[in-house]
């Protein structure tokens, strides 16, 4: 059954949405600079698509792109200035999504997930993605949910590597990956990525073996987008290593446990915002090893800082 992501703190019961195959769902080299038609993979009939040399330009008009087992979808610039939505639905095993840039803010108000993903027992990859232009703050008229960048299906049972992502100003979670924790049990590794000024949470994971490494979260209270830094659901254990979580006092830097269920989190060689703090809910335990409280968020090397850079696959 298709589903949309939710802005609530609890995992939800199934609701109907339009994501194909889903079950629910700047460096801050200077921090001042941060701040239903389905289109088949590779089809010549991609809606309003044009070739720009190194990448294909696709206008967002409400279509769904389907990526299946063993397939690679790459080098696309998605034009969001149309006001339309687009959904990328990746299911099966051993698929790859890379070099994708989204140009313009998503103002569709659909409240769907931009990416709906699930690896069913294999290992898949998502890398070099720019979602830095974000969304407006509205919830979908029919769903009541804000736009989510990545929604991981509860049935996810394999492994997904995320690398070199830039996700900013989403009205819902940046990476909503907690649902498999009590379902398929699949794992996520978020590495060398940047998320900023999203609501609800930025990196949200649950299954034992999930990791967030070499990454940064930044919140500056822009437009009230004050989601948690990293939200660890049950069962864990969740690993956080070499991360900078700069919240400027907003919400919670590391939030452990939810829905009355505890989890374990191990944080190493990282810095978190002391004012935002750490929450240990329902008997959760957060172990701190060689950590500090003066974070300096930055965009890791290799993370794209524009849609064109992402789509072209530039380093």
Single out the residue of 201, 202, 205, 204 nearest to residue 216, CA to CA: 202
The verdict on residue 3 lying in a domain is no
Instruction: For residue 261, report the phi and psi dihedrals to the nearest 5 degrees.
Output: -115, 135
* Gap between the Cα atoms of 17 and 38, Å rounded: 14
The verdict on residue 234 lying in a domain is yes
Of 23 and 129, which is predicted with more confidence?
129
What tokens appear for 315 in the block? 């380093």
What is the domain extent for residue 275?
36-312
Lowest mean pLDDT among 12-21, 50-59, 83-92: 12-21
- pLDDT above 50 (res 307): yes
The verdict on residue 122 lying in a domain is yes
Q: Count of domains in the chain?
A: 1
- How much is the mean pLDDT over the chain? 85
The predicted structure's pLDDT at residue 217 = 98
The verdict on residue 293 lying in a domain is yes
The verdict on residue 245 lying in a domain is yes
The verdict on residue 50 lying in a domain is yes
Lowest mean pLDDT among 107-111, 122-126, 163-167, 255-259: 107-111
The predicted structure's pLDDT at residue 8 = 45
**Averaged pLDDT for residues 47-69:** 84
Residue 143 pLDDT class (50, 70, 90 cuts): low
- pLDDT above 80 (res 221): no
The predicted structure's pLDDT at residue 247 = 97
The verdict on residue 171 lying in a domain is yes
The verdict on residue 26 lying in a domain is no
Query: Going by C-beta distance under 8 Å and a sequence separation of 6 or more, which residues neighbour residue 123?
Result: 93, 94, 158, 159, 160, 161
Q: Under a CB-based contact definition with an 8 Å cutoff, are residues 132 and 26 in contact?
A: yes
**Averaged pLDDT for residues 275-292:** 98
Q: Under a CB-based contact definition with an 8 Å cutoff, are residues 47 and 39 in contact?
A: yes
Residue 53 pLDDT class (50, 70, 90 cuts): low
**Averaged pLDDT for residues 236-262:** 97
Single out the residue of 200, 194, 193 nearest to residue 162, CA to CA: 193
């Amino acid at each position: 059954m298709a589903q949309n992501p939710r802005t609530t703190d609890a995992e939800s019961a199934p609701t109907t949405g339009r994501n194909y195959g889903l079950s629910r769902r700047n460096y801050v080299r200077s921090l001042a600079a941060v701040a239903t038609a389905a289109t088949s993979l590779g089809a010549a009939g991609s809606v309003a698509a044009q070739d720009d040399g190194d990448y294909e330009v696709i206008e967002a008009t409400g279509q769904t792109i389907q990526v299946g087992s063993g397939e690679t979808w790459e080098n696309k610039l998605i034009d969001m200035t149309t006001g339309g939505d687009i959904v990328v639905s990746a299911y099966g095993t051993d698929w790859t999504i890379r070099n994708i840039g989204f140009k313009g803010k998503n103002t569709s108000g659909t409240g769907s997930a931009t990416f709906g993903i699930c690896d069913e027992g294999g290992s898949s990859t998502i890398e070099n993605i720019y979602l830095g232009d974000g969304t407006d703050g509205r919830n979908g008229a029919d769903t009541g949910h804000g736009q989510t960048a990545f929604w991981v299906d509860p049935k996810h049972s394999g492994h997904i590597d995320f690398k070199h992502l830039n996700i900013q100003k989403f009205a819902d979670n940046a990476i909503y990956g907690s649902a498999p924790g009590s379902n398929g049990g699949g794992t996520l590794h978020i590495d060398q990525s940047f998320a900023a000024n999203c609501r609800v949470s930025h990196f949200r994971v649950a299954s034992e073996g999930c990791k967030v490494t070499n990454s940064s979260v930044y919140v500056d209270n822009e437009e009230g987008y004050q989601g948690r830094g990293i939200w660890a659901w049950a069962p864990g254990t969740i690993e956080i290593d070499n991360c900078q979580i700069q919240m400027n006092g907003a919400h919670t830097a590391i939030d452990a446990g939810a829905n009355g269920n505890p989890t374990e989190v191990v944080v190493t060689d990282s810095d978190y915002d002391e004012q935002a703090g750490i929450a240990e809910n329902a008997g959760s335990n957060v172990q701190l090893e060689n950590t500090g409280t003066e974070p300096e968020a930055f965009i890791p090397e290799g993370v794209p800082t524009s849609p064109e850079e992402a789509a072209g696959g530039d380093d």
